[in-house]
Amino acid sequence: MKQKYQGNARVKRAQLQRLRREFEILEMQNGECVNDYISRVMIITNDMRGAGETMEDGHIVEKILRTLFDKYNYIVCSIEESKDINEMTINELQSSLLIHEHNIKRQEITKQALKVTGDYYAPQVTEHLSNRGRGRGGYRGKGRGREHTELDEGKEMLLMSYVEMQGVKRDEMWFLDSGCSNHMSGDKKWFIELDQSFRHSVKLGNDFKLNVMGKGNVRMKLEGQIVTFIEVFYIPDLKTNLLSIGQLQERNLSILIKNGCCSIYHDTEGLIIRTMISENRMFVLMASIAIVDTNISKAACLNVTSENITSLWH
């Protein structure tokens, strides 16, 4: 009996030594989710406890925090500074990490949207005009170009009669771009008016040329407000919606970029939009297609509150 007990004890010690080594070299793999990694840690931990090892939650929490992948570094620092690791349970740690993992995935979706459009997004666009009254390169047409601009402004004002009973159709991202000279979209669903006879071409910074297959007005809902952009290029091959900062400034809107925040101000309405810089150093507006009731009378629409006012952006 004594020899049998000693043999079993030796086997247990050898097993425990193996488990200790596995526990020490254990670390999170690239692409591994929080639940999977914690499950791997707990499998070895439970085996060690079964072999007679005393494993406190604080020791396990410390091990997990020390071996997380690099993208979790700042949440690790936050947990270590704000919580007592020795008193923290595995479940509490797992909940905190899952929230952070969810935020990371949302950021990666934004980054992937940009990656997919890679060749179609460039900091500079050279335009080849077929028929415009006013150029974007610092020059103006004579006479007719100015009249054309005034006519567009009149059309914009007409759109103010349709500002109530709007609904959301779907969410989309629009990127504020200081390099492109014109608002652009490849999704026809955004356009409330579209002149498909208009032809134009744009050249991206990588010399890739895209054909403009129309020009029109886009209406969207941004943070509770209905906003209309005019003279938006329709480019079917473009996979990203772009808003030209230069074109917004031509509309006498003020753009302030400071401390990672982009704010857009209207002369009379004040602050219209504010968005924070994304992880990939882009300013993104989350918009939705606004559905309006075109049967609403103009008189009724003139009484809308500032929350529902239509902003006309050029």
Q: Residue 23: its pLDDT value, please? A: 92
41 pLDDT higher than 90 = yes
Q: Which amino acid is at 216?
A: G
Whole-structure pTM value: 0.43
Where is average pLDDT lowest: 52-66, 78-92, 104-118, 208-222?
Answer: 104-118
The backbone torsions φ and ψ at residue 64, rounded to the nearest 5 degrees and listed phi first, read: -65, -45
**Six-digit token string for 3:** 């020899």
pLDDT, residue 250, reads: 86
Instruction: Tell whether the model's pLDDT for residue 40 goes beyond 60.
Output: yes
**Mean pLDDT, range 22-29, rounded to an integer:** 92
Q: Which of 76-90, 116-130, 226-240, 299-313 ranks highest by mean pLDDT?
A: 226-240
Q: Could you read off the pLDDT of 78-123 as tens digits, one per residue?
A: 888 778 888 889 988 888 888 877 777 766 555 544 444 444 343 3
pLDDT given at position 147: 34
In the chain, what is the greatest distance between 2 CA atoms, to the nearest angstrom?
110
Confidence of residue 51 (pLDDT cuts 50, 70, 90): confident
* Residue 61: band (very low, low, confident or very high) from pLDDT cuts 50, 70, 90: very high
Per cent of the chain over pLDDT 90 is 21
- Token pair recorded at residue 148: 């054309």
Query: What pLDDT is attached to residue 277?
Result: 86
Q: Convert the pLDDT of each residue in 120-161 to its tens digit.
A: 343 344 444 444 333 343 333 333 333 333 333 333 332 222
For 257-275, what is each residue's pLDDT tens digit? 888 888 888 877 788 888 8
What pLDDT sits at residue 108? 59
pLDDT at 95: 87
pLDDT band of 67, cuts 50, 70, 90: very high
User: In the chain, what percentage of residues exceed pLDDT 70?
Assistant: 68
Predicted pLDDT of residue 302:
27
The closest of 95, 253, 243, 250 to 172, measured between CA atoms, is 243
The tens digit of pLDDT for each residue in 162-199 reads: 233 333 333 478 888 887 889 999 999 999 999 999 99
Q: Which pLDDT belongs to residue 103?
A: 72
What pLDDT, on the 0 to 100 scale, is given for residue 265?
85
Q: Tell me what pLDDT residue 21 has.
A: 92
